[in-house]
Amino acid sequence: MSLRKEMLRKLIFSCKNASALLEKQEHFKLGKVERVKLAMHKSVCSACRKFEKKNKEFGDALSIALKEEENSKKGKKYLSEVTKSRIKLKFQK
């Protein structure tokens, strides 16, 4: 394999690896190399950019729903059917 192809193979990785980093990024700070690799992958992969956007929207909606439920149910951590329906409707758009 040529040096150029080898370098590209190490820099650009699969959508599976990118989605794992996107999930990790939601909870932890990525290292410099991980951030660069992820940015390079997203620059050429519209599916992963869309996944990142939808994943963030889902996380935000879930956080809001859990806070609402905790406030209304005095600390019980579950989602009502109404809240579940609202989350589902948001992602059917």
User: What sections of the chain are H helices per DSSP?
Assistant: 3-11, 15-27, 32-44, 46-72, 81-91
Dist. CA 1–CA 5, nearest whole Å: 6
pTM for the model stands at 0.62
Domain boundaries, the chain: 1-44, 51-93
pLDDT in tens, 41-77: 998 889 999 999 998 888 888 888 777 777 666 656 5
Question: With pLDDT > 70 as the criterion, what percentage of the chain qualifies?
Answer: 78
Q: Quick one: pLDDT at residue 83?
A: 75
